[in-house]
Amino acid sequence: MPRRKVEFFSLSFLDVVCCGFGAVILVFTILNAVFGGSYRPVTDELRGEVDKLEEEVLEGHQDLVELRNSVRETAHESVLASGLSRRLIETLTEVQEELATYEASTLAKREHVEKLKTDIKTLEEEMKRLSAAAPAEETPGDRLRSFVGDGDRQYLTGLKVGGRRILILVDTSASMLGDDVVNVVRRRNLADPMKLRSPKWRQAVATVDWITTQFPRDSSFQIYGFSTKAGTIVPGTDGQWLDAGSREVLDGAVQHLRKLVPAGGRMVGVYSCGGAYYAIEDRCSHDDGPLCEGDWEPELCIVVCPRHGSRFDLQTGIPMTLPAFESVPTYPVTVRGDGVVVVEVPD
């Protein structure tokens, strides 16, 4: 009987291999247990150091960026400051130049003023010399009468009153009650004392009063008033000359003028329309409005009342529209050979 073949690499071989492998694992485990625990803290420590270093590097980088920004800002401010200083220097230079100009001009003006003063002085001396040399030509009326009204002012500047006979014409119509039609219409319905207080009339009376103070003593005078009619201011002296050398006569004439109440007269508007002239009373028939102070229609020869809008035919004075329904007087107009336009207003 054949002998069974022995298998050397069978189970016992595997046992040996396994035991060896197990021994290796055991050795590795023991070594790991002995040395493996001390590696971890070292690694953690190192990692902490690295993190800290990274943070410091990051902070340093940020500081660097801020530093760069601050350097940039400083450079910008330095540029601005240098520009500002340049402008200041320029302005200062301009101001200095202007000052120099003003100084020169002030000097020239001072010299001019001094020259004017010298001229005035020379003129004054010349006037004194001429006054002393001039003969007494006329004896003016102001030595006879003096004017004391709204001050001793000269009402007609530069007017020289002279001659043997002097005639003063005074407008005594209601138009002397105001400077415009509205005021005239308003004042002419007031009581006489109020009319006498009208500024325009008072100015006229004061002017005549002042002129009488300028009459030469050896002259004659007369004062005529005119409205719708003309006549002397001093009653009963028509056609006579009054003595300017008599203070009583002069005072009397002025007193009569002061008592005279402006009245009458007529305001007329004259229009050139369609090659002809037309005159119409400047008083609306509706409510006495200032008819000629409004618009007019040249193509139709119509005047429009500014107060309520009534339209009037310039040729006939007939109202074309309400509220006026009565005609306004119109007057014939002629043009003289010398070009003067004449309006015939009946008494």
- From the list 139-147, 171-179, 236-244, 302-310, the region that binds ligand FES by CB under 6 A is 302-310
For the chain, the helix, strand and coil percentages under 3-state DSSP, each to the nearest 5: 50, 15, 35
Q: How far apart are CA 343 and CA 330, in angstroms?
A: 10
Phi and psi at residue 108, in whole multiples of 5°?
Answer: -65, -40
323 DSSP 8-state letter:
S
Q: Per the structure block, which two tokens stand in for 225? A: 């008033």
- From the list 181-189, 206-214, 237-245, 286-294, the region that binds ligand FES by CB under 6 A is 286-294
- Taking the least distance from each CB to ligand FES, the nearer of 228 and 321 is 321
Q: Per the structure block, which two tokens stand in for 222? A: 């007369």
Which residues between 265 and 284 bind ligand FES (CB under 6 A)? Answer: 284
Q: Taking CB under 6 A as the rule, which mask of x and - marks residues 74-113 in contact with ligand FES? A: ----------------------------------------
* Three-state DSSP state, 278: strand
- From the list 167-175, 270-278, 301-309, 339-347, the region that binds ligand FES by CB under 6 A is 301-309
Beta carbons within 8 Å of 211's beta carbon, 6+ residues apart: 155, 156, 159, 161, 168
Shortest separation between residue 235's beta carbon and ligand FES, angstroms: 38
> In 10 A of CB 165, how many CB atoms?
10
- Taking the least distance from each CB to ligand FES, the nearer of 195 and 307 is 307
Q: DSSP string covering 142-174, please? A: GGT----BSBS--SSTT----SSEEEEEEE-SG
Does 289 contact ligand FES by CB under 6 A? Answer: yes
Shortest separation between residue 303's beta carbon and ligand FES, angstroms: 10
Q: Taking CB under 6 A as the rule, which mask of x and - marks residues 311-340 in contact with ligand FES? A: ------------xx----------------
Residue from 287, 295, 297, 326 touching ligand FES (CB under 6 A): that is 287
- Taking the least distance from each CB to ligand FES, the nearer of 140 and 294 is 294
Contact 198, 186 (CB under 8 A): no
Binding residues vs ligand FES (CB under 6 A): 284, 286-287, 289, 305, 307-308, 310, 323-324
